């Protein structure tokens, strides 16, 4: 029987390298944005390195209710994209491969023509996947018409995609009912995020938990090799 690995995650803004590692390990990656938008999370922000320490780049969004879905979340202030690009250009100008990527990322930031957070995140995800040579099929969970509770919806997604394996982040160990997956003949694989090699990063001390753009600007075409754990 052919093995098909499925990973399911909420979209994040310019995510860290571990996010792309899990996409790379899957045959199909499902963007699961029909769930609650959580404030002060990775959906609309990420970190960069600066000479004075870590800095958040946050997309300003409007939260109308606690039940608001990520896919129904919209930008609340214009010009955030220009501010973010200027922060990246200002702090990474001396990175070895900043010039290598400057034009395409400047174009990416200045060409954003949507105020929908999910669409913005997908805009960056597709570009970064292509640079990292990740060819995993990416789909929106809404096309699967999922039903059931938290666990059942994940199982439903994997089954509808003819998946044999479900790759899960370690944070889900607190709620994932592995026995239900086993009953559905789906094997759960836990993602391991430790053991990534360090790379030549601007500004000490080294930090793994920054946007993947940090890796791209510092390592260029070699960046994909740093998604392999030691």
User: What is the mean pLDDT of each successive set of 10 residues along the chain, which is 230 residues long?
Assistant: 92 98 98 96 97 97 95 96 98 98 97 97 98 98 95 96 96 92 97 93 95 98 90
> What is the pLDDT, as a whole number, of residue 124?
98
- For the chain, what is the domain count? 1
Residue span of the structural domain in which 170 resides:
5-227
> What is the pLDDT, as a whole number, of residue 229?
80
Listed residue (216, 169, 174) closest to 29, CA to CA? 169
Question: Is the N-terminal amide bond of 205 cis, ω within 30° of 0?
Answer: yes
Backbone angles phi, psi at 47, to 5 degrees: -110, 145
Residue recorded with tokens 């010009």: 79
Q: What is the pTM of this model?
A: 0.96
Residue recorded with tokens 């310019």: 14
Q: How far is CA 74 from CA 61, 67, 84, 119, 225, in A?
A: 6, 14, 17, 10, 35
Burial of 26 (0-12, 13-18, 19+ CB in 10 A): buried
Burial of 125 (0-12, 13-18, 19+ CB in 10 A): buried
CB contact at 8 A, 31 and 118? yes
d(Cα 207, Cα 215) in Å, to the nearest integer? 11
> What is the pLDDT, as a whole number, of residue 114?
97
d(Cα 33, Cα 30) in Å, to the nearest integer? 9
> What is the pLDDT, as a whole number, of residue 2?
86
d(Cα 87, Cα 135) in Å, to the nearest integer? 29
Helix axes 98-110, 117-131, angle to 10 degrees: 150
């Amino acid at each position: 029987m052919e093995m098909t690995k499925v990973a399911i995650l909420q979209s994040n803004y310019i995510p860290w390298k571990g996010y792309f590692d899990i996409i790379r390990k899957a045959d199909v990656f499902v963007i699961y944005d029909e769930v609650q938008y959580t404030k002060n999370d990775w959906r609309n922000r990420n970190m960069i390195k600066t000479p004075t320490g870590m800095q958040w780049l946050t997309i300003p969004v409007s939260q109308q209710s606690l039940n608001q879905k990520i896919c129904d979340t919209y930008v609340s202030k214009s010009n955030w994209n220009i501010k973010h690009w200027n922060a990246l250009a200002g702090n990474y100008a001396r990175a070895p491969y900043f010039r290598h990527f400057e034009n395409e990322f400047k174009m990416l930031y200045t060409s954003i023509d949507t105020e929908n957070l999910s669409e913005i995140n997908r805009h960056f995800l597709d570009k970064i996947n292509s640079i990292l040579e990740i060819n995993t099929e990416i789909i929106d969970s809404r096309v699967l018409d999922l039903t059931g509770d938290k666990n059942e919806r994940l199982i439903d997604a994997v089954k509808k995609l003819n998946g044999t394996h479900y790759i899960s982040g370690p944070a889900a160990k607190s709620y994932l009912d592995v026995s239900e997956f086993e009953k559905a003949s789906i094997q759960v694989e836990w993602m391991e995020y430790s053991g990534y090699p360090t790379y030549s990063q601007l500004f000490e001390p080294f930090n793994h938990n920054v946007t993947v753009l940090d890796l791209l600007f510092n390592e260029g075409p070699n960046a994909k090799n740093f998604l392999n754990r030691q």
